[in-house]
Structure 1
């Protein structure tokens, strides 16, 4: 009996195409800490996408969490996020300060957490968030932001069509 390989090849191609399509999503937490008068930002992104984004802005290949990691990785990471996350507090643009980064080598070496903050914020009446993280890398990139401020919790989804949100109290 002679079997055609076409159905098997077709099924293999269909299955592999489902798994070959990656998700392009970042998640961030933006929290106002009234005790320290600061806005704390934690952003989780995929390492390979972030490295591509830094290269697109003229940076070097970082090789994060490898033996070949670039010596100025933190400087490039801070520069990238300062360019792609913009905050205005009470209609005044504020500068994000680098706090650090981490990954979990035992469980999730594909993603990295980036930590930034804005200090000396006594009261927030209005907050504008602009997020363009990785939009130049993938046209289907989505950036989810969870904001906690002034006893309010909101979530936004940013993409190439929507990069800015404003909330007022």
Structure 2
């Protein structure tokens, strides 16, 4: 992957699914940027778009996201469970969830995905809880956001 894009932006959507009592998280990250970060952190070669060893790539993505995306609900650290990823155009959509979560009043998060790789990295964070949608944009080095519902 050698495509260069003029901006560095990821999108993270955090949605509370009340019937399932689960927090559903999806992160859209440019595939080439994610691949380069994984190569750097794991000292290996890989292809995110067409992996020869999908379980190994999933493991690397899961570990990377757990290190660079942290979420608290009502002051309690959440253990994000990685579900997998899919490629859509030039982006990797990565999916995580936190099951068995009662009603949420406040979400606090830290997101520094790709900050070490791109000085101009930004993140759009969208949250949807109890039919309330709230959004914020974080620009490197700002990594913290809070939402009250």
Same fold (TM over 0.5): yes
Does residue 150 (structure 1) correspond to residue 130 (structure 2)? The answer is: yes
Change (3 A) 1:95 1:55: same
2:117 is matched with which residue: 137, 141, 152?
137
Match of 1:66 in 2: 50
Change (3 A) 1:64 1:128: same
SS for the counterpart of 2:42 is coil
Structure 1: runs of 5 or more not aligned: 1-19
Q: How many residues in Structure 1 have an aligned counterpart in Structure 2?
A: 146
Write out aligned runs for 1:82-101 (5 A).
82-101=66-85
Q: Distance in 2 between matches of 1:67 and 1:133?
A: 21
Change (3 A) 1:29 1:59: farther
> After the TM superposition, which parts of structure 1 deviate over 3 Å for at least 4 consecutive aligned residues?
67-71
Cα RMSD (Å): 1.8
Write out aligned runs for 1:2-151 (5 A).
22-66=6-50, 68-69=52-53, 71-104=55-88, 108=89, 110-151=90-131
Change (3 A) 1:48 1:32: same
Post-superposition offset of 1:73: 0.5
TM-score (norm 2): 0.89
Q: Which structure has the bigger radius of gyration?
A: 1
TM-score (norm 1): 0.79
Structure 2: runs of 5 or more not aligned: none
8 Å contact from structure 1 (residues 62, 70) kept in 2: no
